[in-house]
Amino acid sequence: MIDPTHDELVLYDEISELGDKTWNISANIEGLNTDPKMYSIMLFKRLCTNQRGYTALWKLGLNLEANIVLRSAVETAICIAANFKIREEFVLLMRRDATFTVARQIIMHRESGDQNLVREGESTLRFLQSKLPDGAKPAKLDWRDLSEKGDVAELYVYHRMLSSVSSHVTGLSILRGVSNERLDAGQAEIRDLERKMHLMMMAGALLQGIRYHSVMIEAYEGLKAAEAFTDRLADISMKWTWA
C-alpha cells in the first residue's frame, strides 16, 4: 500500500481547514438564487460536505465508497469553475438541466402508473419551463463541455477515470471485486496507487473550488492561500515515486 507521506497529509489537512474557513465566510452571505454568486455558494457547500464525507470514508479504508463521493466532488468543482467563468450562462444551464430531469421523471412515473406523481411533475415542469427564456430547451449537463467552459480539463480527466474504474458499475470496475491469480497483481497495484493519488485528487478538486469561489465572494485572502497551497501540491507531486 502506497500511503501518503507525512507532508502530504499535513497539506491535505491544511487545505481542508482553508475550505472550512471559506465556507464560514460564505454562510453569512445572502442573495437571490438566480445570482451566480449564490450558485457558487450552494455549490461550494456541497463540495465541502463531499470532501468531509470522502475523508471519513478514506480513513475507514472504504476506498470504493470514498471514490464514489470523490466523483461527486469533482463534478461540483467543475460546476464551480464553469459558474465563475460564464456566470449567467451557467445559471441557465442549471435551469435547463432541472427541466430536463423533471421531464424524464414524469416519463418514469407515467410508465409506473403513478398518476399523482405525474400531475405533480407536470405542474413543476410548467413552472420550470416558464422560467426559461424563449428558445431555451431542456438539456442535461455535459461534463466535458462544462470543464472546457470552466478551463478545468484536468478535472474532466478525473471524472472520466473515476466513472470507468470505480464510481459506476462497469465491466472494468466490477472485475475489481473478482479474485484470481491473473487479476490480483494488477488490482493490488491499482489499489496501492489510489490510496495516495485519490486523496491528492480530492485536495486538488477542493483547491480549485476554493480558488474560484473565493473570487466570487471577494475573499481574496482565501485566494492567496489557495494559490500557495496549489504551488505546494505541485511541488509535492514532482517528488512522487512508486517504489
Write out pLDDT tens, residues 170-227: 555 556 555 555 555 555 556 667 888 899 999 999 999 999 999 999 999 999 999 9
Sign of CA dihedral 199, 7, 210, 48: positive
Residue 134 counted as domain residue = no
Domain count of the fold of the chain = 1
In contact, 30 and 185? CB cutoff 8 Å:
no
Residue 137 counted as domain residue = no
Residues 6+ apart with CB under 8 A from 79: 43, 90, 141, 146, 150
Residue 206 counted as domain residue = yes
pLDDT, tens digit, 9 for 90 and up, residues 102-154? 999 999 999 999 999 999 999 999 999 999 999 999 999 999 999 999 999 99
- What is the value of pTM for the model shown? 0.89
Least reliable range by pLDDT among 1-5, 76-80, 123-127: 1-5
Residue 39 counted as domain residue = yes
Residue 51 counted as domain residue = yes
Residue 59 counted as domain residue = yes
Residue 32 counted as domain residue = yes
Residues 6+ apart with CB under 8 A from 173: 164, 165, 166, 167
Residue 14 counted as domain residue = yes
Name residue, grid cell 419551463. Answer: 129
Going by C-alpha positions, the residue among 2, 11, 4 that lies closest to residue 203 is 11
Domain range for 17 is: 6-85+143-237
